[in-house]
Structure 1
Amino acid sequence: MVYTILRRIKDDKVLSEPEKIQYSNLLRSQLTSHELALAGFNGLMPQANDFDALLTEFHMLKYLPTGIARRALEEVYDPTAFAARDD
């Protein structure tokens, strides 16, 4: 479901870039730390298509708490996935 929502936000032709950011932030705010970690690991699966790219583009792992899951994901994801947006 997270993949589908992010894909629809990305591909939407009506939403402005700030609106896309706002909607992706709303989605991220509804996910627990465990769900974010699970999404990050799921994005690494061969069957995940471009889920890892969507997680990175929308900075979805930004608020993943420091711990074993974050450290493991930081080994494989681009730092953008964890970074704050430049405003």
Structure 2
Amino acid sequence: MALLITDKCINCDMCDPECPNGAISMGESIFEIDPDLCTECKGHYEKPTCQSVCPISKCIIVDPDNVETEDELLEKFVIIQGLA
């Protein structure tokens, strides 16, 4: 499952530098997460760092339109890191 930044985002820029995959960038009005690059930090950390540093409760949630298993997320991690 990729993560999704909701419209609760205050554009504090805490999440962007914490993403190990470079999946977070500024969108038209708030930060956005590229679902093709988001692995929920699988392969890097135990839990998503963007959620850990976000000062707004429930601002970064599971993206219901991009549901993936843990195996799929780990496979994506391997591809992104060039380990395949």
The answer to whether TM tops 0.5 is: no
Length-normalised TM-score, structure 1: 0.28
Bigger RCO (CA 8 Å, 6+ sep) = 2
More strand by share: 2
Please report the TM-score for the alignment, with normalisation by the length of structure 2. Answer: 0.28
